[in-house]
Amino acid sequence: MTHVKIADAFSKLVGFCTGYGGKYNPGRPNLRIESMSTQLDEVRQSFEVVKNAQANLNNQVNKRKQKYDQLSRLASSILRALEASGAATEKKDHARQFAHQMMGKAPKNRAPIPSDAAQPEKKTQANLQLAYVSKADSFSKLVKAVSTEPLYVVNEPDLSPQGLTTVVTELELLNQQVDEARKIWRNTLIARNEVLYSKPVSLYNTALAVKKYVRAIYGHDSAQYAQIKALRFFKLTR
C-alpha cells in the first residue's frame, strides 16, 4: 500500500458515494461529496508539491556531485604545481595530507585494517552530507596551505589562489543548497502526511467515517456497502 493507492481508493469512494444520489446526505460537512472532492484535490496537489521538491533535491545533489567529482584531479594539479614551485618539504607534506584527507586516502604509514575486522559504515543521508562537508573543509585547508606559500606562483587562473578560493566558496554554497533543498522536501512530506492522515479532517479519517455512514444508512448486507467495504485505508507515516 502506498500514499498514491490510498488516494486512489478515496477517489473510488467519492465515485461510489456520488452514484448513490440524494439518499447519500450526511450531516457532517466533511462527509459530503463536495468536501470529499476538495480533500482529494488537496491530497493530489500535495503529491505534486512533493514531486517537485524531490526533483529539485535530486538536481541539487547531482550538481554537487559533479563539482565534487572534479576535486581529486584539481587537488593533484595543485600538489604538482606546489612541488614545481620549490616549496619546503614540510609545506608539501602538509598540503599532501590535506589532499589525502579530501580524497579519503589513509596515510601510507598506517597499518591496514584486516578485512574480517573492517566494519563498513552504513551510508545514510547524514553521513553523506558530513562526507561532503569534510571534503570541502579538507580542500579549503589545502587551498589555505598553498595560498600562504610565497613560492606558489602560477599563471593558470584555475590554479591560482584566487581561483581556488572561488572553488572553496562554490563547494560551501553547493552544500548549503543541498541542505535547503532537503529541508524543503522533508517539509513537503510532513504537509502531505498531514492532509492524508494527521489533520482532524484528514483523508484517512474522512474515509473511515464515510464507510461507517454508508453502512448505517444502507445496512451491512447492502450492495452499496459491499462496494466500499473492500476499499482499504491505512496510515502510512514514513
Q: Are residues 34 and 102 in the same domain?
A: no
Q: Are residues 212 and 154 in the same domain?
A: no
User: What are the pLDDT digits (tens) for 172-190?
Assistant: 999 999 999 999 999 999 9
| Residue 126: pLDDT band with limits 50, 70, 90 | low
Q: Are residues 138 and 157 in the same domain?
A: yes
pLDDT at position 70 is 94
Q: Is the pLDDT of residue 91 over 80?
A: yes
In a domain, 166, yes or no: yes
Q: What secondary structure does DSSP assign to 52-92, as a single string? A: HHHHHHHHHHHHHHHHHTTHHHHHHHHHHHHHHHT--HHHH
pLDDT at position 116 is 39
> Domain total for the chain?
2
In a domain, 112, yes or no: no
Q: Are residues 22 and 33 in the same domain?
A: yes
In a domain, 193, yes or no: no
Q: Are residues 82 and 97 in the same domain?
A: yes
Nearest to 39 by CA among 64, 66, 6: 6
Q: Are residues 74 and 177 in the same domain?
A: yes
Q: Is the pLDDT of residue 128 over 90?
A: no
pLDDT at position 30 is 92
Nearest to 142 by CA among 184, 188, 93: 93
User: What are the pLDDT digits (tens) for 137-164?
Assistant: 999 999 999 999 999 999 999 999 999 9
Q: Are residues 75 and 182 in the same domain?
A: yes
What residues contact residue 46 under an 8 Å CB cut-off, 6+ apart? 188, 191, 192, 195, 196
In a domain, 79, yes or no: yes
In a domain, 217, yes or no: yes
In a domain, 135, yes or no: yes
Q: Is the pLDDT of residue 118 over 50?
A: no
Average pLDDT, the chain: 89
pLDDT at position 114 is 42
User: What are the pLDDT digits (tens) for 195-234?
Assistant: 999 998 999 999 999 999 999 999 999 999 999 999 999 8
Q: Are residues 225 and 127 in the same domain?
A: no
Domain span including residue 205? 3-65+199-229
Between CA 211 and CA 198 the distance in angstroms is 19
**Mean pLDDT over residues 48-64, rounded?**
97
Q: Are residues 81 and 49 in the same domain?
A: no
Q: Is the pLDDT of residue 120 over 60?
A: no
pLDDT at position 124 is 62
Alpha-carbon dihedral sign for residues 184, 186, 189, 193: negative
In a domain, 144, yes or no: yes
Q: Are residues 41 and 57 in the same domain?
A: yes
Task: Please give the distance of CA 89 from its chain centroid, rounded to a whole number.
Answer: 43
**Mean pLDDT over residues 120-146, rounded?**
79
Q: Are residues 78 and 172 in the same domain?
A: yes
pTM of the model: 0.81
Q: Are residues 98 and 31 in the same domain?
A: no
